[in-house]
Amino acid sequence: MDNSWIMKPQTSAAYEQGIVEFINFAFKDEVENGKVICPCRVCRFKKPQSRSVMFDHLKWSPFPKGYTVLLHHGESLGETSSVSTSTIPNIGQDTVVVEDSIQNMINDAFGVDRDQTNKEPIASNVEIDRDEDVIPSSDKSLTMILELLKDAFEFASIPSSFYEAKKTITKLGMNYVKIPACPNDCMLYWGEDEERETCKICNTSKWKSGEKDCVVNNRKKVPTKVLRYFPLKPRLKRLFFSSKTAEDMRWHAVDNNNDGMMRHPRDSEAWKQFDLKHTWFASDPRNLRLALASDGFNPFGVMSSNYSIWPAVLIPYNTPPCLCMKDTSFIMSMIIPGKYSPGNDIDVYLQPLVKELKELWTTGVDTYDSFKKEVFTLHGTLMWTISDFPGLGMLSGWNTYTGFACPSCNTDTEPCRLQNSSKWCFMGHSRYLDRRHKFRLNKVHFDGEQEMRSPPVTLSGHQVLQQVENIKVIFGKKPKKAGLGKRKGKKQPTQGDPPNQKKRTGKRQSTKDDPPI
């Protein structure tokens, strides 16, 4: 057959007619199950497909330009005079294996041994041009994956296209919003600042620089940095759409195991004190108590890659221990992109979440309880944050790098700096023991001093507010200058600032309706 159509543009009528002629040629003989091996970039001469599926695959993905002798589809070498004996491929010896990231992703998801799949070669007369844009767009790629999954799992209800999948996700209330951000972490283009074109702090443009970067997709500008935020209220309401999940949300109040053992956060003193202080909140066991966890990681799995993202995840603690720490219970709140950690400026990105948490505490959200078959007002509160020690410094503003890094001792500490490593060391832990404990007088096994001090006083929320009241922070990082590296913005020095606080997360009036600190 005439293979000149392979070099035609994919959108041309000649290319589409060529696909039809190729499929007619491939199916000219009776085939098993009505399927023939598909040569597209996804199937890779491995998976048989029907006529219609093969047409869709070849319409979206370019036909392999080097596959001019259709050896896998019934054409013999004698049927064409354009192939010399020097170009006859030796399929048994001369083979090439192409690494396909999409195929590897599917293999990893379904537990397929990647080595076994790579043992099946592609014929050597299929030339792969790495310089061409042979990979379809992300929407089309995901549509193709959904079709492959639908063929593999006929009993499952899988959307037929990426567009249908997005509609389903939107109906379930699991979509997300894109919020442009300043590349220097100064501000979000959100709320009253949504229409701004430049940062109000560093005056950096909202858009990517250069024509190739900012004018794409029908001449729409592309923001330099985008925060992906997942609205919280729809996800919390979904927890009560299932009668089983709605019943689990009451576990912390109906479980009668009160033996004094610490098995769940509801057994902690913080939980009990919270219930005593906010009786209106504790009166309905369906009100949610949340924890926030955040940490950075490299999404590409290459340690040398100069990129990281910072997801923030919420965990509902109403459910029993066997459920609340499962990954299926985690609620993605936001994904903070960036080459570097947001550091002290993470407060800029937490603004949408803080706004929703305040609304959940004060007004709540009307929710249907499928267990009791009624509508109620759901309230929620953030009780804990979960992070490593550097993450604690980011979320709370606590200075974790000086002699006042101990959050329990606060300023009531006597730090010691090691001479050789210059690291801070915190001794005197026996001050928490009973005054008659023998370790308090033991000099040999500790720091050579008898410990006669009382334990540090735990500060109240109002005392913490007094410590941070005069701290003024300008969020954001100063833009790079020629010959200089990246410099972080520092807080303005004010008289009376404590040595262990870097920022304040907000000031509030002392009223009974305020959320707890």
- Backbone phi, psi, residue 425, to 5°: -125, 135
According to the model, what pLDDT value does residue 331 have? Answer: 92
| Cα separation, 86 vs 84, whole angstroms | 5
- Condensed to tens digits (0 to 9), the pLDDT of residues 186-200 reads 999 998 988 899 999
Beta strands (DSSP E) in 100-213 are 122-123, 177-181
Indicate left, alpha or beta for 141 from its phi (over 0: left) and psi (-120 to 50: alpha): alpha
Q: Find where tokens 């290459």 sit.
A: 302
Longest dimension (CA), the chain: 101
Q: What pLDDT, in 10s, does the model give residues 262-292?
A: 888 998 888 999 999 999 999 999 999 999 9
**Sequence-ordered list of residues with C-beta below 8 angstroms from that of 514, at least 6 positions apart, any chain:** 508
Domain borders along the chain are 4-136, 172-229, 232-257+265-396
The closest of 418, 397, 427, 422 to 497, measured between CA atoms, is 397
pLDDT tens digits for range 396-452 = 888 888 888 888 887 788 788 888 888 888 877 888 888 888 888 888 887 778 888
How far apart CA 498 and CA 96 sit, in angstroms, is 65
For residue range 140-180, what is the model confidence (pLDDT) as tens digits?
Answer: 777 888 888 888 887 778 888 877 887 777 777 678 899 99
Closest CA to 345 of 515, 181, 178, 180: 181
Per DSSP, helices labelled H in 41-137 are 51-60, 101-109, 114-118
What would the 3-class secondary structure string for 417-428 be?
Answer: ECCCCCCEECCC
